[in-house]
A and B are shown apart, each in its own frame.
Chain A
């Protein structure tokens, strides 16, 4: 990386939430930013969502800390409204003129090896272009737009349609069809609900059930009150750098922590009626304890209607996977045949960082669970390159905004990085910590989920600001049991401390 005082021209790849948050902060600090966006609109995933897709969490958890949602915005904001909100944000903060739309980055390479400037090559209007930048920020999220399509045998014989969930644009596509949805994440349950409204028959095939987090605990309390405060973040598996209090809670207090999570499981069990016998007489009780399983790749907040439709049999549940396609449908791993003519694969997306020059990619040390970064943003072996948005949390928009502010302060020289060896040690510690308990997945390196409180605290402390953001006479009590939300960090993200 060039000396921070020599960094002026910054390339930002992607104009989704992370890219916009990064551009907004860096532009405000006087950097010359160019944002490359391969589509014609801002919003990333929010421009290409499947039918009936929207935000999973309440409105106050999915807004920019320095740009609140309009007062009339509903909870669980639908995708198109979210995209409009992002567009308004980009307009308000003057990001729009800096975005090159329909400009797909094809290669990011170092000009003269590690520590030099960067050459960004892109295609725009069918023409190849390139330009030199002092710093590059990759903001393409955890996954690419490449659908993950499991290849089951017999697809040639299958007479119906096989589609990835991203191809489901309208429930009319499913009208009168006999549909089988494979998967059990947010997109799978959404697709199954869409099919239940329009299709003649709906099946969902679940390989491994996992704990759902209802939007309201016991149907009353918004889930943030149960999970997103400091007390709850003390009870989850201890963080990479556990505090003294957390160490005590997880040694002497271990039985109480264990009992607390069993009570949470009991609540989820009864609320979602996971013990009900669905479809082929199987239940949806996960094997993993909730405090571990909650960190799996498919943790989600399903719509309440999903379990209602399952119990009614409108959606028929099956445990297992698709073994093969047949002429008249699919055969499941337990031998059962489903007579369906449409299969929706809600199996996620593959990662694609092929735009990075191979030598750069290798230095990031990619593994089966992705690549690990210092503070989830930087790698000491690749100076001058940052990733914003490679941290999966419950409040992603807040996390990305804090990351953007942290990076802006770094580039301004307001705080500095430790030695490369210290960063390497930190990365190694993070890798070992996650691999010691977190369920494996292709994006485990980026997963934080409820550990976001610890992560946000670290970022804020790096900026020299108190991580305790609650205010008022009852602030100490609020710190313990009140959920943290983007609004708590508004002044930090805005650069006012």
Chain B
């Protein structure tokens, strides 16, 4: 349980950092005043959400991989 939690947080942190960088660029790229400050705020939120929900995302992904592996050869709901 603890290892899933840690693994999820680590994966969440990696994906979160990548996603945060993307979100930062998206927001900072606008012509609005204080766009960079707003971009930092959005990036921090993005990273935080990934960190918190990383373990849940990991578990959902593992379950989905198992089910997908069964459904795909059967072409079920593809």
Chain A residues in contact with chain B, CB under 8 A?
A: 243-245, 253-256, 258-262, 265, 289, 464-466, 468, 475-477, 479-480
Contact = CB atoms under 8 A, between A and B. Distances in A.
B68 A466 contact: no
Contacts of B61: 253, 255-256
Interface residues of B, number: 26
Per DSSP, are chain B's interface residues mostly helix, strand or loop, or mixed? helix
Interface in B32-78: 32, 35, 41-42, 45-46, 49, 57, 60-61, 63-65, 67-69, 71, 77-78
A255 B49 contact: no
Nearest to A261: B77
A259 B63 contact: yes
A289 B46 contact: no
Contact of A259 (B41, B42, B46, B64): B64
Among A255, A258, A259, A262, the most chain B Cβ lie within 10 Å of the Cβ of: A255
Given A258-B68, A259-B60, A476-B49, 16 more contacts: A243-B22, A245-B19, A245-B22, A253-B61, A255-B64, A255-B65, A255-B67, A255-B69, A258-B64, A259-B63, A260-B64, A466-B32, A475-B42, A476-B23, A476-B42, A476-B45
Nearest to B69: A255
Contact of A464 (B26, B31, B68, B77): B31
B27 A468 contact: yes
Interface of B: 19, 22-23, 26-27, 30-32, 35, 41-42, 45-46, 49, 57, 60-61, 63-65, 67-69, 71, 77-78
A289 B78 CA distance: 7
5 contacts: A253-B61, A255-B64, A259-B63, A261-B77, A477-B45
Nearest to B66: A255
A259 B67 CA distance: 8
Nearest to A465: B30
Contacts of A475: 42
Contacts of B32: 466
B68 A254 contact: yes
Among A259, A464, A479, the most chain B Cβ lie within 10 Å of the Cβ of: A259
A239 to B, nearest CB: 15
A476 B64 contact: no
B27 A265 contact: no
Nearest to A290: B77
A479 B22 CA distance: 14
Contacts of B65: 255
A484 to B, nearest CB: 16
A114 to B, nearest CB: 34
Chain A to chain B: the 10 pairs with minimum beta-carbon distance, closest first? A476-B45, A255-B68, A259-B64, A255-B64, A466-B30, A256-B64, A255-B65, A476-B42, A256-B61, A289-B77
